[in-house]
């Protein structure tokens, strides 16, 4: 277990601090159990590592663990939490919970048994906290981390701090807001680049390889995340990819479910189910994005 803590210390110390997603400042981090859900690539891991880096707790009092680590194929999450608390642990951050069987019941047990331990966990945006053996909906405060907005993209690109505005503020004071923004930047100059790769923070690191990284992301979503959450066979992943390609080549359009079913080689009901789940993984958005 010491090896996991050593890996955590190294990971936290190497955290990238170039940019913080809006959730860092907007949300209340004082709750004892917090979930951060969102699409792959949106920045959940960086967010929690930045939070750990900013924490005033000592290295031995805070830990980051990734649940697809081979370590957890032999040791239960609850056993690690027990060890961590006995060693003086106060803040446990758990990444990618959807890759771990029985994650909800074990997190529920940790929450109920260790009242002085704060737990933050991340997972796919499709996770439903009120389902499964451990109902966390009444225990966890849940936040959604979406892909970046144009405002965040401009802040990232130019190191600005343009504030967000509520819909009511925009409706009642849009002229003054627009004047203030235009004193700093010309938003349309950034819009084309935003459409090309502005939704995902990792574009800053990948550069010309952004499209390749995006393709890797969608493959990971389908081959790992989708299988972990929806429990489908690998043979259907090939059909999912075919479905996404058909959608990407034809949007915008009103899908003919029967026609899609025939072309992909799956039942009509299965197509409908996939069309419900794929947007929750951001998969349709990403695949459409790759065309441009």
- Tell me, letter by letter, the H, E, C secondary structure of 209-238: HHHHHHHHHHHHHHHHHHHHHHCCCHHHHH
Same domain, 103 and 84: yes
pLDDT tens per residue, range 209-260: 777 888 888 888 777 777 767 777 777 888 888 888 888 777 677 888 999 8
> What is the domain extent for residue 189?
150-198
What pLDDT was estimated at residue 56? 92
- Of residues 130 and 92, the one with the higher pLDDT is 92
Q: What's the order of all strands across the beta sheet hosting 33-38?
A: 62-66, 91-95, 118-124, 33-38, 141-145
Q: Is 252 inside any structural domain?
A: yes
Q: Is 118 inside any structural domain?
A: yes
Same domain, 154 and 261: no
Same domain, 228 and 135: no
Q: Is 98 inside any structural domain?
A: yes
Peptide bond into 218 cis (omega under 30): no
Residue 136 pLDDT grade (very low, low, confident, very high; cuts 50, 70, 90): confident
Q: Is 203 inside any structural domain?
A: no
Cα–Cα nearest to 270, from 285, 281, 258, 254: 258
Same domain, 138 and 157: no
Same domain, 16 and 129: yes
CB 144 within 8 A of CB 125: yes
CATH number at residue 102: 3.40.50.300
What pLDDT was estimated at residue 289? 47
Same domain, 236 and 273: yes
Same domain, 8 and 85: yes
Same domain, 79 and 182: no
Same domain, 215 and 267: yes
Write down which residue in 124, 145, 166 finishes a domain. Answer: 145
Is the pLDDT assigned to residue 288 strictly greater than 60? no
Write down which residue in 145, 165, 185 finishes a domain. Answer: 145
**What percent of the chain is helix, strand and coil (3-state, nearest 5)?**
55, 10, 35
CB 210 within 8 A of CB 83: no
CB 21 within 8 A of CB 38: no
Q: What are residue 62's DSSP bridge partners?
A: 91
Write down which residue in 180, 198, 216 finishes a domain. Answer: 198
Question: In total, how many domains does the chain have?
Answer: 3
pLDDT tens per residue, range 179-206: 988 888 888 888 888 888 778 888 877 7
Q: Is 29 inside any structural domain?
A: yes
Same domain, 55 and 174: no
Q: 161: number of CA atoms within 13 Å, CB side?
A: 2
Same domain, 168 and 276: no
Same domain, 64 and 155: no
């Amino acid at each position: 277990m010491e090896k996991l803590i050593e890996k955590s210390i190294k990971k936290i110390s190497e955290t990238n601090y170039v940019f913080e997603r809006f959730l860092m400042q907007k949300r209340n981090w004082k709750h004892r159990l917090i979930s951060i859900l969102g699409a792959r690539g949106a920045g959940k891991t960086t967010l929690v590592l930045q939070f750990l880096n900013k924490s005033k707790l000592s290295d031995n009092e805070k830990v980051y663990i990734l649940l697809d680590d081979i370590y957890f194929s032999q040791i239960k999450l609850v056993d690690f939490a027990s060890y961590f608390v006995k060693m003086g642990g106060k803040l446990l951050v758990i990444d990618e919970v959807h890759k771990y069987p029985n994650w909800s019941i074990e997190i529920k047990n940790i929450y109920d048994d260790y009242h002085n331990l704060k737990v933050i966990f991340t997972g796919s945006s499709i996770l439903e906290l009120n389902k499964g053996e451990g109902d966390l909906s009444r225990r966890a405060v849940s936040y959604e981390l979406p892909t970046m907005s144009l405002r965040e993209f401009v802040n990232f690109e130019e190191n600005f701090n343009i504030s967000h505005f509520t819909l009511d503020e925009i409706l009642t004071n849009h002229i003054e807001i627009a004047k203030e923004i235009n004193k700093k930047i010309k938003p349309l100059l950034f819009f084309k680049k935003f459409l090309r790769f502005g939704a995902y923070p990792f574009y800053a690191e990948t550069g010309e390889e952004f499209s390749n990284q995006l393709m890797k992301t969608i493959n990971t979503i389908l081959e790992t995340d989708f299988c972990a959450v929806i429990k489908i066979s690998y043979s259907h992943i090939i059909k999912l990819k075919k479905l996404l390609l058909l959608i990407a080549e034809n949007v915008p359009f009103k899908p003919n479910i029967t026609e899609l079913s025939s072309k992909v080689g799956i039942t009509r009901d299965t197509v409908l189910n996939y069309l419900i789940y794929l947007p929750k993984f951001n998969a349709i958005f990403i695949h459409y994005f790759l065309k441009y």
